[in-house]
Amino acid sequence: MARVSKLRNEEGIFFEKAPVAILVAQLDNLRIGAANQKARVLLGREHLHKVTSIDKRAPEPLTLKDIFAVSDLERIAAILRSEDSSEESHGFVIRDPSSTIPREIAIVAHRIVAENKVLLVIQELSIRACRPDQIRQSQRMEAMGMLAGGIAHDFNNLLTIIAGYSQMLQTSGQMKTERDRTALEQVLKACERAADLTAQLLSFSRRQNAQPKVVDVALIANQTAGMLRRLIGEDIELQIYHAPETGRTFADAGQIQQLLLNLAINSRDAMPDGGTLSIDIRNVELGDSYAGQNFRVKPGNFVRIEVCDTGTGMDETTRKRVFEPFFTTKPQGKGTGLGLSTVYGIVSHCGGSIDLYSEPGHGTTFQIYLPQVDEAPSEDREEPRRVRGGHETLMLVEDEEGVRRMVRSALERCGYRVLLAGSGPEALDVSHSHEGPIDLLITDMVMPKMSGRELARRLVEERPGMPVLFMSGYLDNRFDSTDDDAPPAFMQKPFAPFELTARVREMLDTTKGGNGAACTA
């Protein structure tokens, strides 16, 4: 018995550490019972082996239907029914919940008839296996993403300056007339809309991680309406409906906007001679009968987003492949083939489901179901308020002169002494020449000559215990921390001066137990 136990233990270690991704699923319900380390990493589901608790919003065990694209389900079912499925099958698409971009794989399936199970060996297809046109398209998208990220970063710097000085003026008491106060409020509202646009650019460039929270889908649709009308053109009528008290869902607001934009682009291209694009948002309750017909959604309460156009429609072949990456019916050079696959990825990431109804000559309707939540929407922005200042010495390092001046002004209004530097090397020189303490380092993350991270590392070595506050125009993945490290303090541009000064005071009080006086920032 001891030898048998040892053998089983060795088999388990081999399964877990195997150099290929392996899944084991039940044949009857396709429920995933085991996944080795390679499989969990490949699927972006590191906790997949915890079958009873994958995450707080999806407590049910995953099935193969949750992982593969809807267009692949019939092929998967055929392979599982086959008596001999040991040959490698290519072209399947999986969905990584940490990304909206699908990934293509090849699988080999082995049925274990006695145990009513199937073992899947999975291999991700390398870019060398892609068609040349797919490679070129991927490279173009990568270049566009880098450009969009750079533009958004620069715009966020400009918005930080505009919004910062406007908010300081708002709290200064200098706006004596109602007309002046209204004009300033319009400037700040324009800054908020511009910040939303840059957030979409960052989402497109994948330089901003998804930040899910409770959002009002109808409100997002109304806020995106102006952009949608410009996108679809004057010959297409846009209609947006939503019932009173439309439910909320847990999602990233930027991704919901991206979802609506991608669907609108798809509808626009299907209506070259004009038509109607309608978006209907309402609460729905789905019962067992619907859930039994749908491959993913479970019975419950949902927010349904229905996007309907009067365009050319799709045939059955197109419907089956429409969510595949790089699949497009447009002429070469006219479409990326990533719009609807990205929509599918966003919906999957939100734990939702998407249905498609379309016939040639009768238009297309997408129905998206997102889990409904009862909490109130998260507040994005706070009103300016009085925060406590102080007399500590702070070092501010920022390569953009306008941002540097605005942040310095906000900090000095609260009584702080501010040491300025426009680069990492200059900051090191300022630190060496300053004989007193530096109570806090505030540094931009992305700068020429030296990154904010490297600067912070070198200054903290020279001044142990000095806290560091990073700021940046985009949320970079270099902020990821290990299990042993606390995540660094970070301010996302654009930010309000009072948000910055409140965060500074909080960090100083935490490290020093300080007690500053009130200031208006």
Question: What pLDDT score does 232 carry?
Answer: 86
> pLDDT confidence of 308, banded at 50, 70, 90?
very high
> pLDDT confidence of 463, banded at 50, 70, 90?
very high
Question: What pLDDT score does 419 carry?
Answer: 95
Q: CA angle 126-327-197, nearest 5°?
A: 95
Tell me how crowded residue 190 is: count the other CB atoms within 10 A of its CB.
14
**Residues 82 and 217 grouped into a single domain:** no
**Residues 264 and 372 grouped into a single domain:** yes
Query: Are residues 425 and 450 in contact, defined by beta-carbon separation less than 8 angstroms?
Result: yes
> pLDDT confidence of 91, banded at 50, 70, 90?
low
CATH assignment at residue 112: 3.30.450.20
Query: Are residues 408 and 420 in contact, defined by beta-carbon separation less than 8 angstroms?
Result: yes
Residue 323 lies in a domain: yes
Cα of 51 vs its chain's centroid, Å:
25
Residue scoring higher pLDDT (247 or 58): 247
Query: How far apart are the C-alpha atoms of 377 and 217, rounded to whole Å?
Result: 10
CATH assignment at residue 293: 3.30.565.10
Question: What pLDDT score does 225 carry?
Answer: 86
Query: Are residues 258 and 342 in contact, defined by beta-carbon separation less than 8 angstroms?
Result: yes
**Residues 348 and 391 grouped into a single domain:** no
**Residues 364 and 340 grouped into a single domain:** yes
Closest CA to 403 of 439, 441, 444: 444
Residue 59 lies in a domain: yes
Average predicted confidence (pLDDT) for the chain: 75
Residue 174 lies in a domain: no
Average pLDDT over residues 162-176: 78
**Residues 244 and 315 grouped into a single domain:** yes
Question: What pLDDT score does 191 carry?
Answer: 78
**Residues 362 and 460 grouped into a single domain:** no
> pLDDT confidence of 118, banded at 50, 70, 90?
confident
Residue 458 lies in a domain: yes
Residue 476 lies in a domain: yes
**Residues 392 and 289 grouped into a single domain:** no
**Residues 471 and 422 grouped into a single domain:** yes
Checking if the pLDDT of 432 tops 80, the result is: yes
Choosing from 129, 155, 179, the residue where a domain stops is 129
What domain range is 125 assigned to? Answer: 2-129
**Residues 222 and 273 grouped into a single domain:** yes
Checking if the pLDDT of 90 tops 90, the result is: no
Question: What pLDDT score does 131 carry?
Answer: 52
Choosing from 381, 408, 437, the residue where a domain stops is 381
Question: What pLDDT score does 468 carry?
Answer: 95
Question: Looking at 20-29, 123-132, 185-194, 349-358, which range is the least confident one?
Answer: 123-132
Question: What pLDDT score does 157 carry?
Answer: 81
Total domains, the chain: 3
Query: Are residues 507 and 440 in contact, defined by beta-carbon separation less than 8 angstroms?
Result: yes
State both tokens at 503.
């965060």
**DSSP letter string, 283-307:** EEEE-HHHHHHSSS--SEEEEEEEE
Question: What pLDDT score does 56 carry?
Answer: 37
Tokens 């009085």 appear where? 386
Checking if the pLDDT of 296 tops 90, the result is: no
CATH assignment at residue 428: 3.40.50.2300
| φ and ψ at residue 102, rounded to 5 degrees | -70, 165
Question: What pLDDT score does 483 carry?
Answer: 38
**Residues 403 and 377 grouped into a single domain:** no
**Residues 265 and 308 grouped into a single domain:** yes
Which helix (H) or strand (E) segment is 354 a member of? Answer: strand 353-358
Q: What is the pTM of this model?
A: 0.50
